Amino acid sequence: MKFLFKIFLIIFICYANISFSQFTDKPVYEIEKDFHSRYFNKIKDSYQSDTSINAVYYKLDLYITENPNFLTGAVTINSVSKINGLSSLFYDFSNNMTVDSIIYNGSSHSYIHSNDKISISFSENFNLNDLISIVIYYHGVPIPTGFGSFIFGYHNGNEPSIWTLSEPYGCIDWYPCKNTPGDKVDSSDVWLRCSEELTAVSNGILREAVNNPDGTITFKWHNSYPIANYLISLAISNYVQYNFNFYYSATEYMPVMNYIYPEDLNVLIPQLDKTNQMLSIFTNAYGPYPFLSEKYGHAQFGRNAGMENQTISSMGAFNDDIIAHELAHQWFGDKITCFNWENIWLNEGFATYGQAIYHEAAEGEAAYENFIKSTMSNAKQAVGSIYVIDVANINEIFDGNRSYAKGCIVLHMLRGVVGDSVFFDILRTYVADTSFAYKNAVTQDFQNVVEKVSGLDLEYFFREWIYGENFPVYNVSWTTDELSNVQYKASINIVQNSNLNPQFFTMPVQIKIFMQSGDTLVTVFNDQQDQTFDFILNSKPLDFKIDPDNWILKNIFGENVTPIGFALLQNYPNPFNPSTTISFQLGRPSNVTITIYDILGNEVAQLLNGYLREGTYNTDFIPNGLASGTYFYYLSAMDYNNTNLLFEATGKMILVK
Ligand SMILES: [Zn+2]
């Protein structure tokens, strides 16, 4: 997308005066509290699990049978203490599962499993950074919650399809963990033992698949990148594999591995083949695929949607948008994970915008514009702030209109504010920033990157679009004046409907002015609810359009109203006898006088003296008792209070007797 600026006019731009504060020295969680108190007048704690420990490693060793449905697990969790003198901790795990034992330091250890937590006390104290490693043995039939945290399902009749979709709170239905996206472990192993008829898929690389004497097989998957608990997954079925390589340089490649139901493979191959093009497009836009030393892949599953499990998206549909969306998540969601669910737009808004980037790169600018247009119509339905207030309600977190559509449109609008090259600089800088890469981020982190890269103070932008609600409704009107035969003035007025939060939207707004000599695009900084922008033009203005390239989520009323400039036309007929008509136009309501003077400057008649609305008028002049000769008609238009002259002009006419 490109902006076209033809600068041959004077623009009066108002600058916003916005208070701005930095929080860069505070940890992200404190920043979050600042935002709650600043924007919502309350301090709200999102669930952070046991904040006295930092989980560093999970090993899931699971035996899964489908006949009967059953899960037996041994999960190793390594954590380090974040405090001195730690003597107890807890992990999150559903009460529906039965804990058999906990092993600490080689021997069985006592625990309490209640309220979906496993609490463990130690006889010794741990100090800062001490490692605490335990193994939890358990069994049961997981009861799915949320979007289907753990499903024993089928495809093609009675072929097993066992899968997980843990986001946001569902991990604890099938494995014990710290149940928060804000604490990633450094690496993970997932060992899956199942019937040897089946293939079990998880994150990272398959180190080995071991056939067991009892007719089962154990798949040993290892992930060497930091990973959030909800992105650890499994998918088990009678998959066929369809693999190819993605070359990210002339000689280096990464495998793309697709685990597909046999009956669907042929029809899906053309879609799966698009993954490489998408990987190239997103590499260009964001930087290298984050998990190059492992893989990217798709594992077909039973939910009619996609889930961006790290290095292996679970897929129930394979249209372009879903493939692109889940792939974009590998950068936004997986590499950089939202610190808490309040900031889910950092995952979903970005992944949805990834669809737009795909359409633009693969299909062209018109496809991008169409995608944005339809996403905007969803975004206009969004209720509440993008920043999620009620994270206990998973439908609030994953509200399609708000977290996805409006989150996507915020990025589109940001692109409009900063321009293409800065925008993509921002994305690449954010993705590569070691403060967030393979870690977590909140909105303020992204805002800091945006402001640093762009050099702009964009507090207003994030405040109103992330923490505010709705979108601007612009009521526009305009007037034009002819200042001389080479200078014209256009005054464009924008009045915004009142909104609750913010009261109105501060935004740079592009205006296209159509003139006799062509058109021009100007940007004004709209930071008042009722604001008029004046433009001095060197060609007659004919029409205007607000935000012609559709950068802003908005409604507009009042466009395409032809303005009337001030003008005094030549009388007709001329020369005249016995009468003539004088026509004039008023660009705005005015106190108008028309006075007739003779050639010596003596006033001989007054045709008009009164207040008129804008419009076109004709008035007849019938000279009474005047001699033949040259006369002048002079029009003046004053404003409502008769204090400012809006327009004046003089015409010459000849009376012939
Ligand atoms: Zn998503």
Nearest to 320 by CA among 373, 369, 360: 360
Amino acid 655: pLDDT = 95
Tell me, yes or no, whether 492 and 546 share the same domain: yes
Nearest to 347 by CA among 263, 441, 253, 212: 441
> Rounded to a whole number, what is the largest CA-CA distance in the chain?
126
Measure 348 CA to ligand 1 centroid, in angstroms.
Answer: 5
Category of 395 on φ-ψ map: left (φ > 0), alpha (ψ -120 to 50) or beta: alpha
Tell me, yes or no, whether 548 and 527 share the same domain: yes
Measure 308 CA to ligand 1 centroid, in angstroms.
Answer: 7
Confirm whether 274 is domain-assigned.
Answer: no
Residue that terminates a domain, selected from 528, 557, 586: 557
Confirm whether 315 is domain-assigned.
Answer: no
**Number of domain units in the chain:** 2
Measure 249 CA to ligand 1 centroid, in angstroms.
Answer: 28
Tell me, yes or no, whether 569 and 648 share the same domain: yes
Question: Do 312 and 234 meet the contact criterion of CB atoms below 8 Å apart?
Answer: no
Low-confidence ranges of the chain (pLDDT < 70): 1-45, 560-564, 640
Report residue 198 as tokens: 């089946």
Confirm whether 56 is domain-assigned.
Answer: no
Amino acid 39: pLDDT = 59
3-state secondary structure of 286: helix
Confirm whether 442 is domain-assigned.
Answer: no
Tell me, yes or no, whether 586 and 505 share the same domain: no
Confirm whether 331 is domain-assigned.
Answer: no
Amino acid 482: pLDDT = 87
Tell me, yes or no, whether 594 and 621 share the same domain: yes
Measure 56 CA to ligand 1 centroid, in angstroms.
Answer: 25
Confirm whether 494 is domain-assigned.
Answer: yes
Instruction: Give the DSSP letter string of 608-653.
Output: EEEEE-SEEEEEEE--SSPPSEEEEEEEEEE-TTS-SEEEEEEEEE
Measure 328 CA to ligand 1 centroid, in angstroms.
Answer: 9
Per-residue pLDDT tens digits for 45-101: 688 999 999 999 999 999 999 999 999 999 999 999 999 999 999 999 999 999 999
Domain containing 571: what range?
565-655
End-to-end CA distance of the chain: 66
At 582, which amino acid appears? Answer: I
Measure 73 CA to ligand 1 centroid, in angstroms.
Answer: 29
Category of 497 on φ-ψ map: left (φ > 0), alpha (ψ -120 to 50) or beta: beta
Amino acid 589: pLDDT = 73
Amino acid 217: pLDDT = 98
Tell me, yes or no, whether 590 and 617 share the same domain: yes
Amino acid 546: pLDDT = 95
What mean pLDDT is reported for the chain?
A: 92
pTM: 0.82
Confirm whether 105 is domain-assigned.
Answer: no
Measure 333 CA to ligand 1 centroid, in angstroms.
Answer: 8
Measure 435 CA to ligand 1 centroid, in angstroms.
Answer: 23
> Residue 499's domain is classified under what CATH number?
2.60.40.1910
Measure 245 CA to ligand 1 centroid, in angstroms.
Answer: 24
Confirm whether 189 is domain-assigned.
Answer: no
Tell me, yes or no, whether 577 and 611 share the same domain: yes
Tell me, yes or no, whether 610 and 539 share the same domain: no
d(CA 367, CA 458): 28
Tell me, yes or no, whether 520 and 541 share the same domain: yes
Amino acid 29: pLDDT = 54
Per-residue pLDDT tens digits for 229-243: 999 999 999 999 999
Measure 602 CA to ligand 1 centroid, in angstroms.
Answer: 80
Measure 272 CA to ligand 1 centroid, in angstroms.
Answer: 18
Tell me, yes or no, whether 485 and 550 share the same domain: yes
Residue that terminates a domain, selected from 522, 557, 592: 557
Per-residue pLDDT tens digits for 578-590: 999 999 988 777 8
Question: Do 544 and 521 meet the contact criterion of CB atoms below 8 Å apart?
Answer: no
> Residue 570's domain is classified under what CATH number?
2.60.40.2550
Residue that terminates a domain, selected from 505, 525, 557: 557
Degrees to nearest 5, angle at CA 17 with 12 and 22: 140
Tell me, yes or no, whether 618 and 575 share the same domain: yes
Report residue 201 as tokens: 């898929």
At 11, which amino acid appears? Answer: I
Tell me, yes or no, whether 478 and 527 share the same domain: yes
